[in-house]
Amino acid sequence: MDQPTNDMDDQAAQVAELDRLNAVLNSAPGGDVNADRALWQHVAKLENWFFIARGSAENPSPYSLAAEPGMMICIYSSAARAQEAARLSGLVEPGAEGVPLYAMPVPMAINYVAAFAQTGAFGVTIDYPQIRAYTALANLGMLKKWLEES
């Protein structure tokens, strides 16, 4: 696991495209698998996934949410998005500049997140609370396939 650096942070164009795809998904009729697929294909093509570190610095765990279908692992498209989410979620201590983050290159990050199924996690959400899209951990194999095909 790496501490994020400016050169690891995905480019603004990738994050803007993610926002565009999310807007398409949000305006699509319910159950539109094409809009959902396009968003997650883009997530799979990000260079890195960023995580808000919880627990010890030596062995951090990703920030996660308790949701109706089960525990959701939070992944972020950029370090800036992760820090903003930490602020919006009340994770930043008063007077602190931010929270510890870590990053992993995709596809290693896909494998890392998928392993949380063994601990009972259900899914993964991207850029929560800004985006709120999620998919089941069982679908991460499909993300790897899309990545290999591109």
Token pair of 90, please?
């009340």
The mean pLDDT of 74-93, rounded to a whole number, is 94
Q: Tell me: pLDDT of 2 over 70.
A: no
pLDDT at 132: 85
Which helix H or strand E contains 35, and what residues bound it? helix 33-45
pLDDT digits (tens, 9 = 90+) for 101-122: 999 999 999 999 999 999 999 9
Pick from 67, 85, 44, 75: which is nearest to 122 by CA? 67
Token pair of 99, please?
């929270």
Q: Which domains are assigned to the chain?
A: 12-149 (3.40.1350.90)
Sign of CA dihedral 132, 136, 142, 143: positive
Answer whether 2's CB lies under 8 Å from 50's CB: no
What is the C-alpha to C-alpha distance for residues 77 and 9, in angstroms, rounded to an integer? 8
pLDDT at 72: 97
The mean pLDDT of 86-110, rounded to a whole number, is 93
Beta bridge partners of 53: 62
